[in-house]
């Protein structure tokens, strides 16, 4: 075990907010049952907000951010995990109220960890991260129409924000599940890549940004929405009878301008999805399906791996909508 380790630390002193890569002693990370040697983390929109100014999510400083990580158990004070176990953590307010994954070592509560499936690598786990995990939760929610509620087969599915971290995985997973996927994007230059992921059709998001009708032509058995706003409202109005709309994001706005009509005339179901309040049993199941539903050879074409120092310079591009890659952080580079 080294005497020190490298981590990205944010701090707030008065009006001054700072972020820097520092060498730390292990007494900086005291709380938790399990010490993990981190291999990789990633960059999510929430991470970028926290790196900017704490986003009112971080209350106590200094803090190591990073809401996701994968790595290997270095020390454990619990029977559930032993030295050498490969583990994953996504969300759970790590990087906010607990120290997070932008660090070569992190100490966390045992309840927040799950064991990594042997079928995927540590890097692949972070290519998925919170975004990919959320995409699978959404896909299973949509498929509940036929598998849980027994309301007919899910054929035609819409995915909004399809070039984002959730959207890309959602397009691929739904295609693997046998659905006909229509992808909405504001980056039409990515249409060929979306079709490689599995989209049958690619639509410009401008077609969904106008004020929605009370109810439109029923086109979708299911929807995975990552953006909210008018795009979500239009998707709801176009959902077929007994269809399911899984909503997990708000990039286009927090407000939802819709009516009760699709819900009472078509029995459309709006299924909220978050990736934090999920039981470990459910997490184990979802992560266990990754190897069956995700083709990393394709996803890796959109991945860029960076260092902690590079992360400081690149996170503003995510906030400005200028990132074209999924960002993976190699904390040891």
Report CA torsion sign: 251, 114, 109, 34. negative
Same domain, 108 and 155: no
Q: What is the pLDDT of residue 149?
A: 86
Does the residue 94 lie in any domain? yes
Q: What is the CATH number of the domain that holds 305?
A: 3.90.180.10
Closest to 226 measured CA to CA, from 274, 190, 277: 274
- Comparing 81-85, 146-150, 161-165, 227-231, the range with the smallest average pLDDT is 146-150
* Chain mean pLDDT for the chain: 95
Q: What is the pLDDT of residue 57?
A: 95
Is 54's pLDDT higher than 90? yes
Q: What is the pLDDT of residue 162?
A: 95
Report CA torsion sign: 295, 297, 302, 303. positive
Q: What is the pLDDT of residue 159?
A: 98
Same domain, 41 and 150: no
Does the residue 122 lie in any domain? no
Strand partners, 157: 181, 222
Q: What is the mean pLDDT of residues 67-75?
A: 98
- Comparing 99-103, 273-277, 303-307, the range with the smallest average pLDDT is 273-277
CA distances (Å), origin 166, targets 56, 132, 161, 169, 173:
24, 5, 8, 6, 11
Does the residue 288 lie in any domain? no
Question: In the Cβ-directed half-sphere of 279, how many Cα atoms lie within 13 Å?
Answer: 3
Same domain, 146 and 199: yes
85, with CB counted inside 10 A (0-12, 13-18, 19+), is: middle
Q: Residue 150: which pLDDT band, with cuts at 50, 70 and 90?
A: confident
Q: What is the pLDDT of residue 172?
A: 98
Is 104's pLDDT higher than 90? yes
Same domain, 144 and 255: yes
Does the residue 43 lie in any domain? yes
Same domain, 18 and 72: yes
Same domain, 181 and 95: no
Is 233's pLDDT higher than 90? yes
Q: What is the pLDDT of residue 324?
A: 81
Is 280's pLDDT higher than 90? yes
Does the residue 74 lie in any domain? yes
Strand partners, 38: 71
Cα separation, 302 vs 133, whole angstroms: 17
Report CA torsion sign: 203, 206, 208, 213. negative
Cα separation, 75 vs 33, whole angstroms: 8
Same domain, 137 and 263: yes
Q: What is the pLDDT of residues 172-228, one digit of tens each?
A: 999 999 999 999 999 999 999 999 999 999 999 999 999 999 999 999 999 999 999
Same domain, 223 and 313: no
Helix (H) or strand (E) run with residue 16 in it: strand 16-25
Q: What is the CATH number of the domain that holds 223?
A: 3.40.50.720
Is 86's pLDDT higher than 90? yes
pTM, two decimal places: 0.94
What total of structural domains would you count in the chain? 2
Does the residue 254 lie in any domain? yes
Same domain, 136 and 242: yes
Residues spanned by the domain of 52 = 4-116+295-330
Q: Residue 288: which pLDDT band, with cuts at 50, 70 and 90?
A: very high
Does the residue 168 lie in any domain? yes
201, with CB counted inside 10 A (0-12, 13-18, 19+), is: middle
Q: What is the pLDDT of residue 65?
A: 98
Q: What is the pLDDT of residue 70?
A: 98
- How many CB atoms are located within 10 Å of the residue 148 CB? 11
Same domain, 152 and 265: yes
- What does the chain come to in residues? 333
Same domain, 217 and 141: yes
Helix (H) or strand (E) run with residue 281 in it: helix 280-288
Q: What is the pLDDT of residue 29?
A: 96
Does the residue 286 lie in any domain? no
DSSP 30: -
Same domain, 26 and 79: yes
Radius of gyration of the chain measured on its C-alpha atoms = 20
């Amino acid at each position: 075990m080294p005497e020190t380790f490298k981590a990205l630390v944010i701090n707030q002193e008065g009006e001054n907010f700072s972020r820097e890569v520092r060498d730390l002693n292990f007494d900086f990370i005291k709380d938790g049952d399990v010490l993990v040697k981190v291999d990789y983390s990633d960059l999510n929109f929430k991470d970028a907000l926290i790196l900017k100014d704490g986003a009112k999510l971080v209350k106590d400083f200094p803090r190591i951010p990073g809401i996701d990580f994968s790595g290997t158990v270095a020390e454990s004070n619990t029977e559930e995990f032993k030295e050498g176990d490969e583990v994953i953590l996504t969300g759970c307010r790590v990087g906010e109220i607990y120290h997070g994954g932008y660090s070569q070592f992190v100490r966390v509560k045992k309840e927040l960890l799950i064991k990594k499936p042997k079928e995927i690598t540590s890097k692949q786990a972070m290519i998925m991260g919170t975004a990919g995990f959320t995409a699978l939760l959404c896909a299973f929610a949509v498929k509940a129409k036929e598998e849980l509620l027994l309301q007919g087969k899910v054929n035609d599915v819409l995915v909004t924000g399809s070039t984002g971290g959730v959207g890309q995985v959602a397009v691929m997973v739904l295609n693997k599940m046998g659905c006909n996927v229509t992808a909405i994007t504001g980056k039409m230059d990515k249409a060929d890549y979306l079709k490689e992921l599995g989209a049958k059709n690619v639509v410009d998001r401008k077609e969904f940004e106008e004020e929605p009708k009370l109810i439109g032509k029923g086109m979708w058995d299911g929807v995975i929405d990552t953006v909210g706003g008018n795009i979500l409202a239009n998707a709801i109005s176009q959902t077929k009878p007994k269809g399911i709309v899984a909503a997990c994001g708000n990039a286009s706005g927090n407000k939802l301008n819709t009516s009760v009509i699709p819900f009472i005339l078509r029995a459309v179901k709006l299924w909220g999805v978050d990736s934090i309040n999920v039981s470990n049993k459910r997490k184990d199941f979802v992560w266990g399906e990754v190897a069956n539903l995700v083709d990393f050879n394709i996803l890796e074409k959109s991945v860029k791996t960076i260092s902690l120092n590079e992360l400081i310079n690149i996170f503003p591009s995510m906030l400005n909508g200028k990132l074209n890659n999924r960002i993976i952080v190699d904390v040891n580079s």
